[in-house]
Amino acid sequence: MTLTKFIIVLSHIPIFITALYAAFLYRSLGKALKRFSLFLFLSGIIQGISLAFWFLNKNNFPLLHIYIAIGFCILAWFYKTVLKGFINPKIINITIVIFLLFTLVNSLFFQTIFTFNSYALVLECILIIILSLSTYIFFINDIAMESRIENITSINWINSGLFIYNTSSLVIFYFGDYFTRHFPEYINRYTWVLHSFFSMVMYTFFYIGLWKRRRR
Residue 145 lies in a domain: yes
Residue 16 lies in a domain: yes
pLDDT in tens, 81-134: 999 888 999 999 999 999 999 999 999 999 999 998 989 999 999 999 999 999
Residue 216 lies in a domain: no
Domain region containing 143? 3-211
CA distance 98 to 101: 5
Do residues 81 and 144 lie in contact, with contact meaning Cβ atoms separated by under 8 Å?
A: no
Q: Enumerate residues 6+ apart whose C-beta is below 8 A from 183.
A: none
Do residues 123 and 99 lie in contact, with contact meaning Cβ atoms separated by under 8 Å?
A: yes
Total of domains in the chain = 1
Given a cut of 90, whether residue 181 has pLDDT beyond it is no
pLDDT in tens, 4-30: 667 778 889 999 999 999 999 999 999
Count of C-beta atoms within a 10 Å radius of residue 137: 12
Residue 136 lies in a domain: yes
